Structure 1
Amino acid sequence: MKILVATKLTQGTRSNDYNYCVPGELVWVQEPCDRDRRNPDGGCGCGRGFAGVASHRATTTAEVAEVDFSRDELITAMQTSLADGGWPPVWAAEVVDENLTIASVFPAGTVIERRVDEFQARTA
């Protein structure tokens, strides 16, 4: 199945890129703050970022990766991450399904970026 993972690929394409995640870690999409919802290029950066499941850090680039995990395994990993980060673990299935839906639109190996609720392939 295809999922979204953190990557350093294409970092620097935008002047406001950042990457504090561990390359290859599963990422998820958090709801942006009000400021970034109005302007994803705002100072916070959450409207253009992906959150790392293991590091609890963020990046502006994610890669679509083909993995041999089951949906249930991803949900278990997400439950642990959400609980560790202070988020409700009951969100896990919804977060995983959103990740799978976004990843399904792109071929494996594609680096994507986020602009609030829009996701697009990024070119170097």
Structure 2
Amino acid sequence: MKVLVATTTTQGDRDDDFSHTVDGELVFDAGQCDRVAQDDSWDCECSLSFAGVASGELTTTAVVVDLPMDIKQFMRAFRDGLARTNICRECAAVYAHRARICALQWPIGTIIERDRDVIQERLPVG
């Protein structure tokens, strides 16, 4: 099944890169945080990152991979992971659905990045 996972590949290509996730963990776009929503400044790490399902941490890079799991296992991973990290267990289905739709947009092996509301393929710097 095509999914998004955290990757350290291309980390450091951008000045604002960071990765606090576990390499290979499922990730999703959690959207903007409350602070960004309130003052529209977009100067928070949340505006550049994906959140890790298992760790609850953030990363600026994700890669599309094909994992040997079915949709029930995928949904359970989101539900259990978000419950453990206290992100939003009730949001698990929405986040999982968005992550799955996002992963389907690119071929396996594509590294993606997020800039505010735009998720795009990460192109080489230079």
The answer for the alignment partner of 1:46 in structure 2 is 46
C-alpha distance 34-80 of structure 1, shift in aligned 2 (>3 A): closer
After TM superposition, the runs of 4+ consecutive aligned structure 1 residues lying more than 3 A away are: 34-40
Alpha-carbon shift at residue 31 of structure 1 (Å): 2.2
Partner of 1:59: 59
Counterparts of 1:75-90 in structure 2, within 5 Å, are: 75-90=75-90
* Partner in structure 2 of residue 96 of structure 1: 96
CA distance in 2, matches of 1:76, 1:33: 24
Q: CA deviation at 1:53?
A: 1.2
Amino acid at match of 1:48: L
Q: Which amino acid aligns with 1:122?
A: R
Say if 2:21 is the partner of 1:21.
Answer: yes
Matched-pair contact (CA < 8 Å) for 1:71–1:96: no
Does the 8 A contact of 2:4 with 2:27 survive in 1? yes
Which letter maps to 2:103? A
Contact 1:5 1:62 in 2 (8 A): yes
CA RMSD of aligned residues (A): 1.6
- Alpha-carbon separation, structure 1, partners of 2:121 and 2:70: 25
The verdict on how the C-alpha distance between 1:82 and 1:34 changes in structure 2, with shifts beyond 3 A counting, is: closer
Aligned length: 122
Structure 2 vs 1, CA of residues 39 and 14 (structure 1 numbering), >3 Å: closer, same or farther?
Answer: farther
Structure 1 runs not aligned, ≥5 long: none
What is the TM-score with the length of structure 2 in the denominator?
A: 0.88
Provide structure 2 residue ranges, at least 5 long, that are not aligned to the other structure: none
